Structure 1
Amino acid sequence: MNIYCMRHGRTNYNDLGLCNDDPSQGVHLTETGSAQAQSAAHELRAAAFDRIIVSPLPRTRQTAEIVNRYHAAPIEVHADLADIRSGFEGKPVADYFAAIRYDPLGARVNGGESLLDHKQRVLRFIDWLKVQQDETLLIVAHEETIRVFVAYFEGGIADTQLRDIHIGNCECRRYVLQR
């Protein structure tokens, strides 16, 4: 199976440096984010997506809908693709990083999940993919989520190195998943 993994376009919360893992909040693509998604759509126009799978957060669907203008593939939501539940909804990302600095892999703050909890959730999604019948998928998710894909498919990346992987808005990577 061919898997294209893409981070969503730039959002208003990216501009403000705020955490978001609640789908009901007013987080949306900015003009820059829409332009990034349009550029990605143009680059991916020749791919033949059977399905597009997004997280429950609206910014991933907004990005997918722009890319899907060339494809008309069904768009589905999968909860395991959600961004890490930081426990810092609407608060500065810097505050979240300060709160987990003593245990960046295992800290669960304010009822959130740890980086390792999040990784296990994304790995569960990858296991689910192995039984799907699609030939080519586009997955639109979040930087933290795509980091797990990078580590899984590219290998040789320790958990302590996950945060060293940087995925730009609408950056896309292609992988082959063996079933």
Structure 2
Amino acid sequence: MTAFTPLAGTAARRRVVLMRHGHVSYYDPAGQPLNPKTAPLTDEGRAQVRAAAEALRDVPFGRIVCSGLPRTRETAEIVADGRGLAVEDDPGFLEIRAGRYRLIPKEERTAAYLYGFDGAHLPGARFAGGDVIAEVRARVVAALERWLAEPDWTHLLLAAHDGVNRLLLSWACGAGLSAVGSFDQDYAAFSVLDFDVEEGRVTRRILKAVNVTPGNLSKVGRHETGMEQVFRPLLALD
């Protein structure tokens, strides 16, 4: 017996919808960086999330979780609207952090910030001189496994971040850290992951959909990665 109602036609399967927050402006009108911890969604970001929420309208979520930062909480609250569910914060899903910008040699900044996950599999690899990528992967996977061991839900929404979602997707597909750089995450995109969970232990991981953007399914005009969008304005300040 499972401690939850399995997805129809399965013995022990439950579903996680993994979502990135909507568009955020990380820079002020003069182009100077803002504190990312407090940055809210923009009007564009709210529209993106509403489109995703409409696409997810028929998903019977039992839990709705976010990292706790304003941009993920607002994203989760838009999806939760009208469902009678409280959004739950879990700091285990907080975004990976870069290091001190000026401590990275200028000629290395593009690789460190825009493509900082390409070498994620290398021993001791850090994201842009900050957090050790493997340690953040261990943190976010442990957080997800805790939720997967929780009873009484079949569908869960997790509103998190670009780096966090990349790490979870690369773990879920079984490729590990070598795949982190390949899992781009657009604003307000969602992925659908199924997990077979027996006696609180994940026995199977299945990717059903990845990086779905309901407002632009064919990705017309979306040529930059999430990291390029976020960090190119920072590099332009040099």
TM-score by length of 1: 0.81
1:98 aligned partner, one-letter code: A
The yes-or-no answer on 1:38 pairing with 2:50 is yes
Cα distance change of structure 1 residues 97 and 17 upon mapping to structure 2, 3 Å threshold? farther
Cα distance change of structure 1 residues 11 and 17 upon mapping to structure 2, 3 Å threshold? farther
Given that 1:11 and 1:28 are in contact with CA atoms closer than 8 Å, whether structure 2 keeps it comes out as: yes
List gaps (5 residues or longer) in structure 1. none
1:166 aligned partner, one-letter code: D
Distance in 2 of aligned mates of 1:10 and 1:174: 20
Helix, strand or coil: the match of 2:78? helix
Deviations 1:127-155 (A, max 9, x none): 21231112110000001111122112222
Question: Which residue is 1:63 aligned to?
Answer: 75
Question: Which residue is 2:112 aligned to?
Answer: 98
> How far has the Cα of 1:35 moved from its partner?
0.3
> How far has the Cα of 1:62 moved from its partner?
0.6
Identity over aligned pairs, percent: 29
Helix, strand or coil: the match of 2:157? strand
Cα distance change of structure 1 residues 45 and 109 upon mapping to structure 2, 3 Å threshold? closer
> How far has the Cα of 1:125 moved from its partner?
1.0
> How far has the Cα of 1:56 moved from its partner?
2.1
Question: Which residue is 1:125 aligned to?
Answer: 143
Q: Which of residues 145, 156, 159 is equivalent to 1:137? A: 156
Given that 2:94 and 2:161 are in contact with CA atoms closer than 8 Å, whether structure 1 keeps it comes out as: yes
The yes-or-no answer on 1:165 pairing with 2:183 is yes
Distance in 1 of aligned mates of 2:71 and 2:43: 12
Distance in 1 of aligned mates of 2:32 and 2:52: 23
Bigger relative contact order, structure 1 or 2 (CA pairs below 8 A, ≥6 apart) = 1
The yes-or-no answer on 1:10 pairing with 2:23 is yes
1:142 aligned partner, one-letter code: H
Deviations 1:58-85 (A, max 9, x none): 1000111111124222210001110002
Given that 2:97 and 2:127 are in contact with CA atoms closer than 8 Å, whether structure 1 keeps it comes out as: no
Cα distance change of structure 1 residues 167 and 149 upon mapping to structure 2, 3 Å threshold? same
List gaps (5 residues or longer) in structure 2. 1-13, 102-107, 198-238
Between 9-18 and 169-178, the greater mean CA deviation after superposition: 9-18
Given that 1:7 and 1:146 are in contact with CA atoms closer than 8 Å, whether structure 2 keeps it comes out as: yes
Cα distance change of structure 1 residues 31 and 4 upon mapping to structure 2, 3 Å threshold? same
The yes-or-no answer on 1:152 pairing with 2:192 is no
Cα RMSD after superposing both structures: 2.9
Question: Which residue is 2:131 aligned to?
Answer: 113
The yes-or-no answer on 1:81 pairing with 2:93 is yes
> How far has the Cα of 1:87 moved from its partner?
2.9
> How far has the Cα of 1:116 moved from its partner?
1.1
Distance in 2 of aligned mates of 1:18 and 1:9: 18
| Higher strand proportion (structure 1 or 2) | 2
| Higher helix proportion (structure 1 or 2) | 1
